[in-house]
Amino acid sequence: MKINSCLKSAILFCGLLINNNLQSQSENYLNEDVKKIIKEGLINQDAYKFLYELTSKVGARVSGSPQAEKAVAWGKAKMEEINSDSVWLENMMVPRWVRGKNEIAEVTYPKKIKLNSCALGGSGGTNDKWVSGEVIKVNSVDEAKLLGDKAKGKIIYFSRPFDQSLFEPGRAYGGAVDQRGRGPNEASKLGAVAAIVRSMTHALDDKPHTGATNFEKDVKKIPALAISTIDANNLNLLLEKGKVEIRVKLSAETLPDVESSNVIGQITGSEFPNEIILVGGHLDSWDKGTGTHDDGTGCVQSIEVLNLIKRLGIKPKRTIRAVLFMNEENGLRGGLDYARRRKTLNEKHIAAIESDGGGFTPTGFGVTTDSLKFEKIKSFATLLEQINSSRITKGGGGADIGPLGEFGTALIGLDHDSQRYFDYHHSDNDTIDKVNSRELELGAIAMTILAYAISENGL
Amino acid sequence: MKINSCLKSAILFCGLLINNNLQSQSENYLNEDVKKIIKEGLINQDAYKFLYELTSKVGARVSGSPQAEKAVAWGKAKMEEINSDSVWLENMMVPRWVRGKNEIAEVTYPKKIKLNSCALGGSGGTNDKWVSGEVIKVNSVDEAKLLGDKAKGKIIYFSRPFDQSLFEPGRAYGGAVDQRGRGPNEASKLGAVAAIVRSMTHALDDKPHTGATNFEKDVKKIPALAISTIDANNLNLLLEKGKVEIRVKLSAETLPDVESSNVIGQITGSEFPNEIILVGGHLDSWDKGTGTHDDGTGCVQSIEVLNLIKRLGIKPKRTIRAVLFMNEENGLRGGLDYARRRKTLNEKHIAAIESDGGGFTPTGFGVTTDSLKFEKIKSFATLLEQINSSRITKGGGGADIGPLGEFGTALIGLDHDSQRYFDYHHSDNDTIDKVNSRELELGAIAMTILAYAISENGL
């Protein structure tokens, strides 16, 4: 029995040794591959080349527009060009809002001042006639609701600025954007003839920032505009002195839905092809600027994840799939359709990583999942530490991947140095000259490292 | 004895309670003050206002130039304006190198091509005559040394680019900059008539990047120039095809040393005034661009540390001193003089924090000190975590504070998201439009938090 026990111990010991060896071999190849990924990415910086193509050859691409379809064709061709194992489109109907030729807002009393303005996505038009009204300034949607009958025939101006004191730009945006999203709807319900919103940005400049506004089904789509922050400050001064009247002329209108597509490419897993790790961004953009940081960068980073893996000849154990979602900005139809189809196909997505915060230097990932999976993802931080992107925090994800949450998919958002993001967001400032190629590539590298680590270890 | 023991325990317990209470009170006020510092900084963003003044009213400020003296006057006035407890200048002699009116380099064979070039700081001139020679391309200083007699009468071209594969931009710079610093000296020793260096930058653009080159005492100061990376690539292609000749004309010259100053302001500690925590940057710059990221940002951040503390009415226990060092770029006379005087005055600097990596989003601090002090500084990371600047790593400091190391001062460098730094560094690109006010302010906030935490806890 003593000998037996010794033998057992010896076998156990050898087993542990083999196990440890295997584990250490696994860690070694992963570590080695991560070094290769970083090097290959930073030397070639293909993400920037892709982004230059998308923003110069296609440009802005609002859902349902001919440019959006051009972007779909570009995305599909690019996924094929980088030798994805398979590439396909998945179609769905998307909203079709158009800005039209006229987009004018000007103060008419006490003196004429042209405003730097643009229609919000979803705004109604004015049939190319002028719509005029006295301006009532409010600080919040709740304050607008309290106006009651006083709002009738007026133009409601939502004036609350970003809270500059908040460290996280996203929190400042989140604390102000209800004015854009819900303000015009509430103003319309009160009988206002138009709504104006201070642009959603930290920057003090002369660029208006567009974005979605939502009207309830039976509420009249009144003209809804953003004005630049400089013009908003000037308007505030005018209103302190007395009565102000504004007139607006917008050609904006909502046309019937049209068909569009998500663009999908993947590298099929060598051992567990049915376990999918998604990387994605959204292909649609607003029509100001060229949809560069929002979200051309997320799209090209997702393509670059596949490109890096292919270029290096890495064979991931699980399937890594890149998805360029359509219609994040004003409907989320792409994200919803994608999740609906997964249910029908009974596909298993173990994790989904979205980049939709711009192409800035990555800092880590925000993760929404259970504690056990969170700790496992956190254990990959040592790999990400090599590019200072090891900050793994609870909470996070992305609008497009959100609907996958119901399947238990770990939802992961790439986190960035995002202080400059809202300077560009939804405005003519969102162009390629605001992107640094190395910063953009590092985001793609961080996504590749995390997707690959999950692929090799499972979740 | 039992009672006695109980009593002792009770006394000990009460003592611990009191102690814990004190500690917790201390932590509470520190934590509360840190929140105020973050809020005050982000709301007012005074650092950007200071930087705008320095770069627009003074502009570029090479050591020894009239502009450098204008910068000294500006710095002193600013320190006074923000109500520093005391402000003074400390004088020393600095080198005086001037670029002069002519600065031309052009390919003359096989065809005429004007090069985007500029003299390196310390370069000799050509007496406003043309100096011509055949170009010999080398990849390193060592390769140049091997040329021997072949270098005589030639123009040596140091062509090694940044290693783009390195994550840390500073490492890529460090791996290439010996060509600029030592290359021309070695070329001169071999009898070369001039030296050309590929600009020290990640960017592929048409801007030459200057910087210091050093000649040994008895070595002739030959003309030494940087050419833009695009021109360097073009020159590489020309040289692959055959012989290339270049001619240069430079008015650069080194004049006798002149007097200049470090600018110093401080808030005197309320309990331990003789224990000093230094925050600093360097006031001199190169004469390309307006010395904005290098190192106007470090100067205004240092002033902003005092400004924030004063505005909030905080009374730090230890002295917090801001120093704008003169002559970091081509002599380090300010840093050396500062340390020399401290020895004479027998002043105790417990820590020195330098910002000389640009005004980008801070990530944490690099610290050179003993293990015990390192751990203490690391314990302040929880305070810095509120602005994602809690990465405390071993190693770091700054050129100007380096000489304080011999006194046992903890040397600390502010770390940034530095991927864009060398795109601007020492070139016409280094201007205020490359600075984001929030990013700049966050660096000042991080410095304030760390300086204040050390002030309250000692080291």
Give the pair of three-digit tokens for residue A304. 């670059």
For residues A91-115, average pLDDT: 97
Tell whether A42 is within 8 A of chain B (Cβ).
yes
| Residue of B40, B52, B165 best to disrupt the A interface, most CBs of A under 10 A | B165
Task: Decide if A43 and B442 are in contact by the 8 Å CB cutoff.
Answer: no
Q: Say whether A167 and B42 touch across the interface (CB within 8 A).
A: yes
Phi-psi region of A140 (alpha: psi -120 to 50; beta: other; left: phi over 0): beta
A386: chain B residues, CB-CB within 8 Å: 167
Mutate to test the interface with A, among B43, B164, B386 (most CBs of A within 10 A): B164
Residue that terminates a domain, selected from A208, A225, A253: A253
**What was the pLDDT predicted at B38?**
98
**Same structural domain for residues B87 and B187?**
no
pLDDT above 80: residue B343: yes
Q: Which residues pair with A322 in a beta bridge?
A: A265, A279
The answer to whether the Cβ–Cβ distance between A43 and B164 falls below 8 Å is yes
Which residues of chain A neighbour B440 with C-beta distances below 8 Å?
none
Closest residue in A to B439 (Cα) is: A419
Q: Give the pLDDT mean for A22-34.
A: 77
Residue A19 lies in a domain: no
Question: How confident is the model at residue B16, as a pLDDT?
Answer: 47
Average model confidence (pLDDT) across chain B: 95
CATH of the domain at B219: 3.50.30.30
pLDDT exceeding 70 applies to what percent of chain B?
94
Mean pLDDT of chain A: 95
Chain A hits for B438, CB-CB cut-off 8 Å, are: 164, 169, 202, 419-420
Let me know if residue A17 belongs to a domain.
no
> Are residues B216 and B274 located together in one domain of the fold?
no
CA distance A212 to chain B (A): 26
Query: Over the range A406-434, which residues count as b (16 or more CB within 10 Å of their CB) and which as e?
Result: eeebbbbbbbbbbbbbbbbbbbbbbbbeb
Chain B residue at shortest CA distance from A386 = B167
| Mean per-residue pLDDT, A252-280 | 98
Give a yes or no: residue B209 inside a domain: yes
The ipTM (two decimal places) reads 0.92
Average pLDDT rounded to a whole number, residues B386-393: 97
Q: Is residue B2 part of a domain?
A: no
Per-residue pLDDT tens digits for A393-440: 999 999 999 999 999 999 999 999 999 999 999 999 999 999 999 999
Across the range B95-120, mean pLDDT stands at 97
- Residue B12 in any domain: the answer is no
Query: A193 with A282, same domain?
Result: no
- Tell me whether residue A238 is in a domain: yes
Min Cα–Cα distance to chain B from A386, Å: 8
Catalytic (active-site) positions of A: 328
Residue B184 located in a structural domain: yes
CA of B204: which chain A residue's CA is closest?
Answer: A437
Quick one: pLDDT at residue A26?
A: 59
pLDDT > 80? residue B87: yes
User: What is the C-alpha separation between B178 and B180, in angstroms, rounded?
Assistant: 5
Cα–Cα distance measured from residue B290 to residue A419, given in angstroms and rounded to the nearest whole number: 23
Residue B83: phi and psi, rounded to 5, are: 70, 40
With 50 as the cut, is the pLDDT of residue B2 above it?
Answer: no
Q: To the nearest whole angstrom, how far is the Cα of A299 from the nearest Cα of chain B? A: 21
* B62-71 average pLDDT score: 98
Same domain, A281 and A428: yes
- pTM of the model as a whole: 0.93
Q: Are residue B105 and residue B90 in the same domain, yes or no?
A: no
Predicted pLDDT at A28: 86
Note the pLDDT tens digit of each residue in A156-181: 999 999 999 999 999 999 999 999 99
Say yes or no: A211 and A283 in one domain. no
Q: What is the pLDDT of residues B397-441, one digit of tens each?
A: 999 999 999 999 999 999 999 999 999 999 999 999 999 999 999
Q: Which residues of B touch A387 (CB under 8 A)?
A: 167
Domain limits for position A414: 33-94+257-457
**B25 pLDDT band (50/70/90 cuts)?**
low
Q: Please name the member of A42, A361, A442 whose beta carbon is closest to the beta carbon of B165.
A: A42
pLDDT, tens digit, 9 for 90 and up, residues A98-108? 999 999 999 99
Looking at the structure, tell me whether residues A237 and A277 fall in a common domain: no
Check if B38 contacts A (Cβ < 8 Å). Answer: yes
Predicted confidence at residue B26, as pLDDT, reads 59
Higher confidence at residue B268 or residue A8? B268
What's residue B6's pLDDT? 47
- Rounded to an integer, the average pLDDT of A271-291 is 98
pLDDT at B363 over 80: yes
Residue A320 has pLDDT above 80, yes or no: yes
What does the block give as tokens for A339?
């999740």
Q: Do B436 and A442 touch (CB under 8 A)?
A: no
CB-based contact, A381 to chain B, within 8 Å: no
Q: Is the four-CA dihedral A27, A29, A32, A34 of positive or negative sign?
A: negative
Number of inter-chain CB pairs under 8 A, A vs B: 65
Residue A280 and residue A148 share a domain: no
Q: Indicate whether A12 pLDDT > 70.
A: no
Residues A269, A43: Cα–Cα separation, whole Å: 26
**CATH at residue A372:** 3.40.630.10
> What is the percent of chain A with per-residue pLDDT over 70, rounded to a whole number?
94
Same domain, yes or no: A57 and A77: yes
Q: Which residue of B has its CA nearest to A364?
A: B388
Interchain contact, B436 vs A420, CB within 8 Å: yes
User: Of A213, A230, A253, which residue constitutes the final position of a domain?
Assistant: A253
Cα of B411 to nearest chain A Cα, Å: 22
The predicted pLDDT at position A66 comes to: 98
- Catalytic residues of B, by residue number, are 328
For residue B213, what pLDDT is reported? Answer: 98
Domain endpoint, select from B251, B280, B310: B251
For residues A280 and A22, the answer to whether their CB atoms sit within 8 Å is no
- Taking the CA of residue B270 and the nearest CA in chain A, the distance in Å comes to 29
Percent of chain A with pLDDT over 90: 94
**Residue B391 with chain A: CB contacts under 8 Å:** 388
B388 lies within 8 A of chain A by CB: yes
Q: Is residue B16 part of a domain?
A: no
pLDDT digits (tens, 9 = 90+) for A329-350: 999 999 999 999 999 999 999 9
- B109 shares its domain with B124: yes
Residue A57, CA distances (Å) to A54, B32, B218, B439 in order: 6, 52, 58, 32
Q: How many domains does chain A have?
A: 2
Q: Looking at the complex, does the CB of residue A202 fall below 8 Å from at least one CB of chain B?
A: yes
Please check whether residues B392 and B420 belong to one and the same domain. Answer: yes
In chain B, the residue whose alpha carbon lies closest to the alpha carbon of A42 is: B165
Q: What is the pLDDT of residues A123-133, one digit of tens each?
A: 999 998 999 99
State which residue of chain B sits closest to A167, comparing Cα positions: B387
Do residues B158 and B65 share a domain?
no
